[in-house]
Structure 1
Amino acid sequence: MLAALVIAFFVFASLYTDYAWFAQLGFQQVLTTRWLAGSAMFAAGFLGMAVPVYVSILLAFRLRPVYAKLGSQLDRYQQVIEPLRRVVMIGIPVVLGIFAGLATAPRWSMVLEYFNRTPFGKTDPQFGLDIGFYVFELPFWRSVVAYASAVVLIAGLAALAACYLYGAMRFGGREVRISRAARVQLSVTAAVYIALQAVSLWLDQYAALTKSNSLITGAQYTEVNATIPGREIMAGIAAIVAILFIVTAVIGRWRISVVGTGLLLVSAIVIGGIYPWIVQRLQVAPSERSYESAYIQRNIDATRDAYDVAGVKESDYDATTETASGALAQDAQTTTNIRLIDPKIVSDTFSQLQQSRQYYQFPNELDVDRYDIKGQTEDTVIAVRDIDLDGLSSAANTQYNRTFVYTHGFGVAAAYGNQRASDGKPVFLESGIPSSGALGDYQQRVYFGETSPPYSIVGAPKGTKNVELDYPSGSDDSNDANGGNATTTYQGDGGPSIGNFFNRLVYAAKFQSEQILLSNAVNPDSQILYDRDPITRVQKVAPYLTLDSDAYPAIVDHRLQWIVDGYTTSDAYPYSQSQSLADSINGTESSTFRTDQVNYIRNSVKATVDAYTGKVTLYTWDTKDPVLKTWQKIFPTATEPVSQMSAELLDHVRYPTDLFKVQRSILGTYHVTNANSFYSGDDAWTTPSDPTATSNDSESTAVTNTTTTNALGTQTTATRADQQDPYYLTMKVPGQGTAYTLYTTYIPQQTGSNARNVLTGYLAVDSDAGGAGKGKRASGYGKLTLLTIPKTDNIPGPLQVQNLFNSDTTVSQELNILKRGNSTVKQGNLLTLPVGGGFLYVQPVYVQSTSSGSYPLLQKVLVAFGDKIAFEDTLDEALNQLFGGDSGASAGDSGAASGSGSSAGTGSDAGTGSSDGSGAAGSGSGSSGAGTGTGSGTQSPALRQALADASAALQDRQQAYADNDLVAAAEADKRLQEAISAAVEAENDTSSGN
């Protein structure tokens, strides 16, 4: 009894704290609706199973032959069961009912969708039914029929066992004797079961439109002309057989129902199996293209509509590979905004320069955004300085500190995406702690972030001494976070109150922490903050959404907000091609996926999470989406209209990455809109692999390919983590205006021996939602543009360009200089831009020391246009060299000085106040931006001379190749090698002398 009470208390504590969490956010209706719907479904599942099974057993027992003579074995069975008969008759139905209730309870969402369904206003091409029938109604009715069939089958088996046990059914020789009462009960049960199978067969014809086949998703010629009519015939036969069982119950003859059952089985084999096989093999297969073209066209049209790519603007782009002087003059806005700061590489740089303390951290991959700086929109790389309890020293790592002191992160660091300092560091537009700069005043405390602690206890009455560390302002990192550091007390409303004993008790049970109950640091104004990750918070209040894998921060209306994209999905859109979200997005299953296999998706909700208060706001983004409309009927107060979004928030909303990845996967095949061309499969595209996955010394990405064999042949698609990511850039796409754009590239589908890596397409989407004022989405937002490269053009793809970079003699030699000593080279994101009438490739090159506390610094830039490349200290210089000395446009780093003499940063910058993880001052190397320096940045005369000689030899070598003078080139190569050897020797001498 005591154990039961303890378990009951913990269950109550879980329910109570869940309600307190939802109520604090104002989403209690979501929770209570889920509870009520789930409870109703459990009750329905329980009663729907338990009652029929109990009634079936009870009828078999009540109608048993009273004076039946049983065999000795059955007599012994009865003697054993009789004392427990009542327990068994009740216990079996109850246990089965519990399992049935647990199985049906999670289907609460499907039932609510059915009763609140919204028409799509579009019909399927086969039956002419609204799409909503397949999305909302068909899954419901198929589940009801499947559940009812299971109930009737189990009830029938229970009745059969009871009839045998109590003598209503007896076996003697070749005869089976059944009492009249048992015959009626079993016949009626069989009739109901077969009638349900007739309904199931009838529904199967509609399900054929969402079934994946060898060629497409949806019914093809054989299904439409053989399988579906066969299902209708079999449903009719099953209905007749059900009637025959009723006749058996009345007249007492089993033969007629047995013959009917045999006919049903034979028809299932012949009509359901053999006939469709004959049609497919003998009629369709020899001329498959002509028979299937109409159904392929259905699939093409439905897929493009379901994935919202039907409106993509397609145009031919006859790209040039010629690099004429001034070729980029018309693309000045694009070149100025080319992002050089790679958010996947500079996390260590941000950490060393801006982290400030070990108990803060920046994410491994930073975010990109854009901000209005002095009237001009600037692409930025931004990161939130979140709390990291794992970084606490052993002295500070106490339960008290983890719960009451180290409660929040502080501020952001942001850098210009297109600029770098002369030494290769990012140019910060927001820095320091507290942060200051171009982003203005905002609430900098981050109580709700991606790495916030599982829970923190905050809040205190006015006049109480502050105990929370606010931000470090002194040099002492002691275990009580004092020593001159700024402290604070949380003033928001971010979590449930634990100011009374009862709330402390239930939360102590929830988190299994006696400190919550016993600590004297808990006061009447205390709140407990938990479930603090932005994606987690949105997922809990909007369980019907699939969420984007990246929540990105933005300074909006003087507050730090997390923006999360929410998708409505379905796997039941007729004729739309099904695909895996995990394969399309990042190769891993996510807990935010309602289902992995989908064939309909919309970005219907934009959500924000306030980093200080944790407030979640859901905005209706796609007002036409029938799935969202259905859920708005279920949770009418959960979402707000887009008109409530501020102009500043809209300025930071962007087209979501995960949706774009799904759409690019679909358009790789479904850019082809003609069924015959689609069937041939000779114009299928795929996303190229990330060329930097194998280029960087310290990085590796698992290559996982998906191989599909069907009527289109054997296709191998790079689907997982090795796919090149789409990138955000402010640029001008041909035929469009300048906008914040998300883009990706295509190469031919890797089929069989075909592994060509030339560009075939370029997909871009306008990601600028702001600019039209409060509550008004920009008219161009979400417009997809697909540039198709003619097959006669031979434009190198990303892997080819990366190979050009890596195999070029000049580049490789300069990279070897950068790698000398204890330095490594990291090649950044390879950007592709449709400028100058062709495609420009840009790749930043970072250098990082291998010493402790080092961080990458941007030292060089690689560019390519066609098969021509340039490798210079700045993008501006590289573009000018590539385009005949004058590109006609300037880059964002045109003001950065070359020959900076610093290639690998170590230690901490002055002014960061870091006392716990830096090391020596910056050291590096650089000639033409890649020399060698000591900790103070000075160089020995011998080293300076050697680097100067290397630089001169490189220039002479390049000129010799340009003049086609191989003798002079060989001489310059020899001088270059001698200079490199002299530089290494001089650096070693300098190091040994320190």
Structure 2
Amino acid sequence: MTIGITGPGRPLLRQNAVAALLPAAIVLGICLILMWITGDILVDWMWFSAIGYLAVFWTAFGTKLAVFLAVFAATSVILWANGWIAVRQARRATQASSELAPNAAVASPPDPFEALRHGLPWGPVVAGGAGFLALLVAWVETGNWDVFLRFLYQVPYGANDPLYGKDIGFYLFSLPAYLVIKNWLLVTLFLSVLAAGAIHWVHGGIAYDGQRWSMSPAAVAHGSALLGVFFAVEAWSYGLDRYLLLYENNGVLVGASYTGVHVDLPLLWVLIGLSIAAACAAWTNVWLRSYRLPAATALFFGVAFVLTGVVAGLFQRMFVKPNELDLERPYIERHITLTRQAYNLDQIVTKAFPAEQDLSFNALQANRATIDNIRLWDRQPLADTYAQLQEIRTYYKFHDLYVDRYWLDGAYQSVIVAAREMKSSLLPPNAQTWVNRHILFTHGNGAVMSPVTSKSAEGLPLLYVRDIPPVADGGPPIREPRIYYGRETSPYVIVKASTPEFDYPRGKDNVYASYDGTGGVPIGGILRTAIFAHYFNDVNLLLSDYVTADSRIMFRRNIQERIRTIAPFLTLDRDPYLVISDGRLSWIQDAYTTSRYFPYAQPAPDHDLNYIRNAVKVVVDAYHGTVDFYLIDPADPIAATYQRIFPSLFKPFAAMPADLATHIRYPEDLFLIQAQLYQSFHMDVPDVFYNREDLWQFPRQPAARGPAPMVPYYIIMRLPGEAQAEFFLMIPMVPSRRDNMIAWLAARCDAPDYGKLIVYEFPKDKLVYGPFQIEARINQNTEISQQLALWNQLGSRVIRGNLLVIPIETSILYVSPLYLRAEHGYLPELKRVIAAYGENVVMKETLAEALSALFPEPSTAPAPLAIRTGTLAPVSVAKQVQEALDHYHRAMERLKSGDWAGFGAELDGMRGLLENLSRQSADR
């Protein structure tokens, strides 16, 4: 006889099977996650060890592990205890209910949870569920490891907030940690409520019969206990909200306003009291076990919460708004003072700039360093030219161009530098092999440097450093040109393999070399190789004969990824730049310490911060990959806190090599943030600030898609009253909704005044043309507009360069380059220079000619201005005749080849020289 199981027995067996497999599945999932984490940890350990920051790794890893274990333990205990209580109370309630009605006359409807209630092993299920949820919560909270470190090692700021009198360090370090803990408590409490509700629902403690919900006394008691905990956490949360008043934005100011101080703050104390009372009432209901008391408490609390918001809104609208300036004046003053402090705007020195119209030939001669370094090469046209002339092969790439300054031939010169990096993804498709991408094509080679002003006779940049291997022709020599670490995001590479690496092309052949530096992580034996193969998901590392025990694997070669891995708590400037120093190539990266918790401070536009300091300069060697962090602002409390946390991470700025230190520059991102905020916060009088009477903005300039705001630019110039020229980062300013210039802001980049900000304000009773107005005058110039139209009709494309504002003495000069490019070509040539001063606008072939036209030399002067590699020099008649003849010969060659655009450009160059000769002859 066969005995079968029918009816409800099969679902019971399925539930038992699920119950048996669930803990095993949870354990398996945890093991897989731990294996994945362990592999990453081992790779990080080897990488940090190879780069020399193992102490940083252990500090960060130890803190993450401590946070993970603490949160995991606390969360799992809370969730397990909550679940255990729920199961215990629910079972008691179910047993009591069945004893009261053992022989019901009417059959009850089938219970869908009967099998779960009796079939699941609730002890392991509760423990496993608590552990799994705690694992997820702990994993998320581990990301706040640096918040807790800053809290433990915090350094006082040294100034107090004006409302509570607390040191600002409390807001930078303590308040974020308290908010993290509060949020963790709320998440854990939410999960506890869900878990308890599910358990009571399965056991029948919470039910819905189609018309109404019902709860057993046990469920009511448990819910009351959790509700009491919620109100207790809310009481603490409202206590923290008192400090969050210092970040509120009411449209007039950021911080505690009149309404915040006189209404919101007292109401928060009321809500704290109500929360404590509600918590006590909820806990009392644990014994009373009536759903009416907690429901009434929650309803009362909700009404009170809504009413407090209504009261504050009505007070702001009915009382504050009609008298806003008088009532908010002291709070606006706090907002201005602390915002200026948060962004170092209070350190800006204000000076008057007369904006006179007395610039002369002799003044230009006295400011040769400024004139010789007026930038005529914009990034994009020059990048296109570099790509055509100096990328050499398709797999080389100039990621970006960088403006810097060098002492060359005894002159302080502004130059543009670009690194020639390897981008193996640009290899031909049939060359995209594993060996090519990871073994052979491993590094870039050399750099290109050109002065910002000079050009060749063909309108191309003069190259101080060029070619592969690098040739220095007026620029600094490069003895180690190989670039293994740079801006390009590239895959890992293997060095010291069994075959040499491709070094550079030479004609039809290639030159190969072997790496002899210290970069990369030793691969070692089979175990390490297997770890890397797993990490990169690449079995070729195990199978390739090119990989030996002496090989080293280089990864995280992008310098910003490299720095972020070591110090993820630092915010990086978007524009690291290449420096040629002592025959080597190095990258300098500006790093910021930031916070969102500076009281009363205005958040930065398009950034999640309201405090910033350029506290750290990072240097990355392009060959070895070494990373050095130099602390340039030890007075910054956040940087000082990190120095206490990681004592081996930062070096004093004095330890930076002297030649590298001469190349630090004020970072553009920080300057842009400060300039954006200074547009409003130069107004330090509350009445003026409230009325926005003197709001500034960036000038407009023409762009491909319409007018766009001008961006800051680097320039060498001599400030009024200063003895020598310096390297600056500057931006002009115009009044709101107007185009005339009203001021210009500059940041000093040279020692000993590095980091000092100066704003020169123009007289408010004098009209000074702004860049957009000068652009309009250029477009209205008949000769210029006709010439541009002619070029565009001859198959060329005219590219207008950026218009630069050049302060000289107490006057303003405007200069803009003009480029020509063949309609289907990619080689822009610098063909004209437009200069404007006062009412006069001229366009000439060179900057020297343009300045000579604007500022005729005195009759005693031998010859007009000319610029040759940054030096003013006399131009002889014979030389001009020869140049005109050269233009004629090139024009004929262009005509024969059908290059009408080039033909027209050469004729224009010849015409300009002949006109100049004619003018000199008439003067004689």
**TM-score, length-normalised on structure 1?**
0.81
Is this contact kept in 1: 2:796–2:821, CA < 8 A? yes
Is this contact kept in 1: 2:151–2:174, CA < 8 A? yes
Alignment of 1:913-952 (within 5 A): 933-934=893-894, 947=907, 951=911
Find the partner of 2:557 among 532, 542, 557. Answer: 532
Per-residue displacement from partner, 1:813-832 (whole Å, max 9, x unpaired)?
23345445332222222211
How much has 1:864 moved relative to structure 2? 0.8
Find the partner of 1:739 among 722, 726, 732. Answer: 726
How much has 1:448 moved relative to structure 2? 1.1
Per-residue displacement from partner, 1:322-353 (whole Å, max 9, x unpaired)?
66554535433322222223233212222333
SS of structure 2 residue aligned to 1:457: strand
Q: Which residue of 2 aligns with 1:708?
A: none
Counterparts of 2:354 and 2:377, CA distance in 1 = 30
SS of structure 1 residue aligned to 2:493: strand
SS of structure 1 residue aligned to 2:662: helix
SS of structure 2 residue aligned to 1:839: strand
**Unmatched tracts of structure 1, length 5 or more:** 477-482, 584-595, 695-699, 704-721, 750-754, 769-777, 903-923, 960-994
Alignment of 1:143-222 (within 5 A): 143-163=180-200, 166=203, 179=217, 185-222=222-259
Q: Which residue of 2 aligns with 1:361?
A: 397
How much has 1:77 moved relative to structure 2? 2.7
Counterparts of 2:460 and 2:834, CA distance in 1 = 17
Find the partner of 2:523 among 482, 491, 498. Answer: 498
Q: Do structure 1's residue 286 and structure 2's residue 322 form an aligned pair? A: yes
Q: Which residue of 2 aligns with 1:328?
A: 364
Say if 1:812 and 1:901 are closer, same or farther in 2 by CA, change over 3 A: farther
Counterparts of 2:789 and 2:891, CA distance in 1 = 12
Q: Do structure 1's residue 557 and structure 2's residue 582 form an aligned pair? A: yes
Q: Do structure 1's residue 399 and structure 2's residue 434 form an aligned pair? A: yes
- Report the residue type matching 2:533 in the other structure: A
Counterparts of 2:788 and 2:881, CA distance in 1 = 15
Is this contact kept in 1: 2:585–2:621, CA < 8 A? yes
Per-residue displacement from partner, 1:707-760 (whole Å, max 9, x unpaired)?
xxxxxxxxxxxxxxx4322111110233555210000011223xxxxx421112
Say if 1:243 and 1:74 are closer, same or farther in 2 by CA, change over 3 A: farther
Find the partner of 1:417 among 448, 452, 467. Answer: 452
Q: Which residue of 1 aligns with 2:41?
A: 15
Q: Which residue of 2 aligns with 1:31?
A: 57
Q: Which residue of 1 aligns with 2:167?
A: 130
Q: Which residue of 1 aligns with 2:16?
A: none
Find the partner of 1:860 among 832, 839, 843. Answer: 832
- Report the residue type matching 1:291 in the other structure: L
How much has 1:948 moved relative to structure 2? 8.0
Q: Which residue of 2 aligns with 1:229?
A: 266
Per-residue displacement from partner, 1:189-240 (whole Å, max 9, x unpaired)?
3222211111111110111102333222212111111011110121122112
Q: Which residue of 1 aligns with 2:97?
A: 68
Per-residue displacement from partner, 1:786-834 (whole Å, max 9, x unpaired)?
1122332222222221222223111122334544533222222221111
Q: Do structure 1's residue 341 and structure 2's residue 377 form an aligned pair? A: yes
How much has 1:414 moved relative to structure 2? 0.9
**Unmatched tracts of structure 2, length 5 or more:** 1-23, 102-106, 920-924
Q: Do structure 1's residue 725 and structure 2's residue 762 form an aligned pair? A: no
SS of structure 2 residue aligned to 1:273: helix
Find the partner of 1:878 among 831, 834, 850. Answer: 850
Moved more, 338-347 or 780-789: 338-347
Q: Do structure 1's residue 45 and structure 2's residue 27 form an aligned pair? A: no
Q: Which residue of 1 aligns with 2:749?
A: 767
Find the partner of 2:774 among 778, 784, 801. Answer: 801
Q: Which residue of 1 aligns with 2:6?
A: none
Is this contact kept in 2: 1:330–1:836, CA < 8 A? no
Alignment of 1:954-965 (within 5 A): none
Per-residue displacement from partner, 1:520-572 (whole Å, max 9, x unpaired)?
12222211112111111111111001101111000123321000000011111
Counterparts of 1:165 and 1:404, CA distance in 2 = 61
How much has 1:577 moved relative to structure 2? 0.1
Is this contact kept in 2: 1:381–1:414, CA < 8 A? yes
Q: Do structure 1's residue 373 and structure 2's residue 399 form an aligned pair? A: no
Q: Which residue of 2 aligns with 1:318?
A: 354
Is this contact kept in 2: 1:899–1:930, CA < 8 A? no
Moved more, 20-29 or 647-656: 20-29
Q: Which residue of 2 aligns with 1:83?
A: 119
Q: Which residue of 1 aligns with 2:4?
A: none
Say if 1:652 and 1:166 are closer, same or farther in 2 by CA, change over 3 A: same
How much has 1:170 moved relative to structure 2? 8.6
- Report the residue type matching 1:835 in the other structure: I
Q: Do structure 1's residue 812 and structure 2's residue 785 form an aligned pair? A: yes
Is this contact kept in 2: 1:571–1:597, CA < 8 A? yes
Is this contact kept in 1: 2:849–2:865, CA < 8 A? no
- Report the residue type matching 1:45 in the other structure: V
User: Percent sequence identity over matched residues?
Assistant: 31
- Report the residue type matching 1:203 in the other structure: L
Q: Which residue of 1 aligns with 2:545?
A: 520
SS of structure 2 residue aligned to 1:418: coil
How much has 1:417 moved relative to structure 2? 1.9
Find the partner of 2:500 among 462, 467, 481. Answer: 467
Say if 1:523 and 1:809 are closer, same or farther in 2 by CA, change over 3 A: same
Is this contact kept in 2: 1:325–1:885, CA < 8 A? yes
Is this contact kept in 2: 1:212–1:578, CA < 8 A? no
Is this contact kept in 1: 2:334–2:600, CA < 8 A? yes
How much has 1:468 moved relative to structure 2? 1.3
SS of structure 2 residue aligned to 1:652: coil
Counterparts of 2:579 and 2:811, CA distance in 1 = 34
- Report the residue type matching 1:141 in the other structure: Y
Counterparts of 1:675 and 1:74, CA distance in 2 = 73
Is this contact kept in 2: 1:830–1:843, CA < 8 A? yes
SS of structure 1 residue aligned to 2:819: strand
Q: Which residue of 2 aligns with 1:869?
A: 841
Counterparts of 1:157 and 1:945, CA distance in 2 = 77
SS of structure 2 residue aligned to 1:207: helix
Q: Which residue of 2 aligns with 1:710?
A: none
Is this contact kept in 1: 2:76–2:134, CA < 8 A? yes
Say if 1:807 and 1:901 are closer, same or farther in 2 by CA, change over 3 A: farther
Counterparts of 1:305 and 1:930, CA distance in 2 = 60
Counterparts of 1:222 and 1:949, CA distance in 2 = 69
Is this contact kept in 1: 2:719–2:809, CA < 8 A? no
Counterparts of 2:202 and 2:907, CA distance in 1 = 99
Counterparts of 1:838 and 1:494, CA distance in 2 = 51
Counterparts of 2:162 and 2:323, CA distance in 1 = 23
Counterparts of 2:35 and 2:302, CA distance in 1 = 54
**Alpha-carbon RMSD:** 3.5
Per-residue displacement from partner, 1:908-951 (whole Å, max 9, x unpaired)?
xxxxxxxxxxxxxxxx9968x995643999999xx899948994
Counterparts of 2:86 and 2:533, CA distance in 1 = 52
Q: Which residue of 2 aligns with 1:275?
A: 311
How much has 1:188 moved relative to structure 2? 3.3
Say if 1:877 and 1:170 are closer, same or farther in 2 by CA, change over 3 A: closer
Is this contact kept in 1: 2:220–2:290, CA < 8 A? no
Find the partner of 2:762 among 761, 780, 789. Answer: 789
- Report the residue type matching 2:642 in the other structure: W
Is this contact kept in 2: 1:846–1:857, CA < 8 A? yes
Is this contact kept in 1: 2:470–2:478, CA < 8 A? no
How much has 1:111 moved relative to structure 2? 1.7
Counterparts of 1:565 and 1:640, CA distance in 2 = 15
- Report the residue type matching 2:505 in the other structure: P
Is this contact kept in 2: 1:163–1:182, CA < 8 A? yes
Is this contact kept in 1: 2:113–2:203, CA < 8 A? no
SS of structure 2 residue aligned to 1:372: strand
Instruction: Specify which structure has the higher proportion of helix.
Output: 2
Counterparts of 1:58 and 1:530, CA distance in 2 = 48
Say if 1:168 and 1:812 are closer, same or farther in 2 by CA, change over 3 A: closer
Say if 1:171 and 1:455 are closer, same or farther in 2 by CA, change over 3 A: closer
